[in-house]
Amino acid sequence: MVEIIGPHSFKTSTKRSWTGVLWFRIDSTPFPYEHWDDFVIPIFAALCAAAHRIANFGSGSERVYFMDGPYELHLRSANNAQVHVTGIGRGDVSGILSIESLLAQLLAASEPVLSACGSVTVGDCNYSDAQRLIQAVEGLRAAEARRRKLGC
């Protein structure tokens, strides 16, 4: 079982990158740690893009790196129906979830981040990360619709 917690509790600033709470519960273990605070937009954008590539059958394995600490998530497709998620850097912890569950959790979790991204303007240092996140979430929506249409 894998559960995405956050992103929430943003600390926003146009002069530096936004931080916020983003962590995972993998097989009942918090990863990297409970209430982990990190650079939310680039990590979440990378996670959404990785999930999009896996859901569209374009990649069998992806890595998403946290900005603080030596932590990373390794996502590996299993039979185009499930994703093995391994948290690396704090003793490995692994769990499995369906691709549909991963997409649904990411899309639900993306709403507060996308809402916050609405205040980002071209001159902000967060602008390019916000644009990558918006594109990644659009890709997730398309992947979810495509998988539903294919009956996956």
pLDDT tens string for the chain (152 positions)? 788 887 766 666 555 667 888 889 999 999 999 999 888 888 989 999 999 999 987 788 999 999 887 999 999 998 888 999 999 998 899 999 999 999 999 999 888 877 777 666 666 667 788 888 889 899 999 988 988 888 87
The predicted structure's pLDDT at residue 122: 67
- pLDDT value, residue 12: 62
Quote the pTM value: 0.86
CA-closest candidate to residue 6, choices 19, 16, 21: 21
Instruction: Compute the CA torsion angle 69, 129, 27, 97 (nearest 10 deg).
Output: -150
**Could you give the CA distance from residue 137 to residue 45 in angstroms, rounded to a whole number?**
8
pLDDT of residue 26: 93
Predicted pLDDT at 119: 67
Q: What is the pLDDT of residue 4?
A: 82
Which stretches of the chain are DSSP H helices?
40-55, 99-117, 127-150
Burial 49-66 (b: 16+ CB within 10 A, else e): bbbbbbbeeebeebebeb
Q: Which residue has the tokens 């979440």?
A: 44
Q: What is the H or E stretch that residue 36 is in?
A: none
What is the C-alpha to C-alpha distance for residues 147 and 12, in angstroms, rounded to an integer? 35
